Structure 1
Amino acid sequence: MNTKKMIDEITALPVEERVMIVDSLLRSLNQPESEIDKKWITTAHQRLMEMRSGAAGAAIPGNEVFDRIWQRFEK
């Protein structure tokens, strides 16, 4: 099967199936490293606990964060 035909067939699939294909392809290019993944999980859990306990301060909604970033670039 040639590449164009394969791409045409894949783009005709439902979104959920295309996501699985993309995820598989990306993983084949960038193999996960278990030690790094463990560190990210630990960091994410720590940040979640900080948010829940209030130690992280007030959360800022994502759209507000992005608005602030765009304002910096507009200057």
Structure 2
Amino acid sequence: MGDSRLIEEALGLPANERADLAERLLSSLDPPEPELEKLWVAEVEDRIEAFEQGKLKTISSQEFFRPPRH
């Protein structure tokens, strides 16, 4: 299958399948380092726990996307 045919086929996939394909292709270019991956998982778990315990200050999406004040 030629490159252009492959791209046409990929673009014809549903959005969720294209996203999965894109993620898999990008991962193949720069495979994750297992130790680094473990550190990120631990960080995410720590942040979720802190959020659930009310230890993190949250902001609304409106506040997040507000342009910075000078």
Q: Answer whether TM exceeds 0.5 for this pair.
A: yes
Unaligned runs of 5+ in 2: none
Q: Separation in 2 of the partners of 1:39 and 1:52?
A: 20
What percentage of residue pairs aligned between the two structures are identical?
30
1:51 corresponds to 2:44 = no
C-alpha distance 19-36 of structure 1, shift in aligned 2 (>3 A): same
Structure 1 segment 1-75 matched on structure 2, within 5 A: 1-56=1-56, 58-67=57-66, 71-72=67-68
TM-score normalised by the chain length of structure 1: 0.76
Deviation string 1:1-45 (CA, Å, 9 cap, x unpaired) is: 221111111111222221221121011011011111111111111
TM-score normalised by the chain length of structure 2: 0.81
Count of matched residue pairs: 70
Q: CA deviation at 1:63?
A: 3.7
Unaligned runs of 5+ in 1: none
Given residue 35 of structure 1, which amino acid in structure 2 is its aligned partner? E
Given residue 31 of structure 1, which amino acid in structure 2 is its aligned partner? P
